């Protein structure tokens, strides 16, 4: 199944938010796993590259791992600045 526009936009925002929060892919995966959504660093990498988004539960877990609402993920890949895709929620060190 091909990832659509919203999935690509979400992937870009996740890819921008992770380094902005000073997290490695392994650290983000560990946060998701601690939230009862087992994820590996490979899954994070594939998600950031728009190669994999299993379902909305993945997105909810990734947003929660950032301390953000999943509603702050962009709805399209046409976001002007992916680094600001999660403006009111990404918290460093959450």
| pLDDT digit string (tens) for the chain, length 94 residues | 677 888 888 888 899 989 999 999 999 999 999 999 999 999 999 999 988 777 888 889 999 999 888 888 764 434 434 444 444 444 555 5
The residues, any chain, with a CB within 8 Å of residue 35's CB and separated by 6 or more, are: 61, 64, 65
- Sign of the dihedral defined by the CA atoms of residues 27, 68, 45, 12, in that order: negative
Identify whether 77 is part of a domain. no
Identify whether 56 is part of a domain. yes
Identify whether 81 is part of a domain. no
Quote the pLDDT of residue 77: 39
Quote the pLDDT of residue 64: 92
Query: What is the extent of the structural domain holding 40?
Result: 5-71
Quote the pLDDT of residue 2: 78
pTM of the model: 0.75
Percent helix / strand / coil, the chain, rounded to 5:
55, 0, 45
Identify whether 44 is part of a domain. yes
Number of domains in the chain: 1
Quote the pLDDT of residue 46: 92
Identify whether 66 is part of a domain. yes
Q: How far is CA 11 from CA 17, 21, 92, in A?
A: 10, 15, 19
Say which CATH number the domain at 15 has: 1.10.260.40
Quote the pLDDT of residue 52: 79
Token pair of 73 as six digits: 């993920």
Identify whether 41 is part of a domain. yes
Identify whether 82 is part of a domain. no
């Amino acid at each position: 199944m091909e990832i659509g526009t919203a999935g690509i936009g979400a992937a870009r925002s996740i890819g921008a938010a992770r380094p902005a929060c000073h997290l490695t892919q392994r650290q983000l995966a560990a946060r998701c796993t601690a939230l009862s959504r087992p994820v590996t660093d490979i899954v994070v990498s594939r998600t950031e590259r728009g190669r994999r988004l299993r379902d909305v539960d993945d997105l909810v877990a990734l947003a929660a791992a950032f301390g953000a609402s999943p509603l702050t993920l962009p709805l399209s890949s046409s976001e002007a600045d992916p680094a600001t895709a999660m403006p009111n929620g990404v918290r460093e060190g959450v």
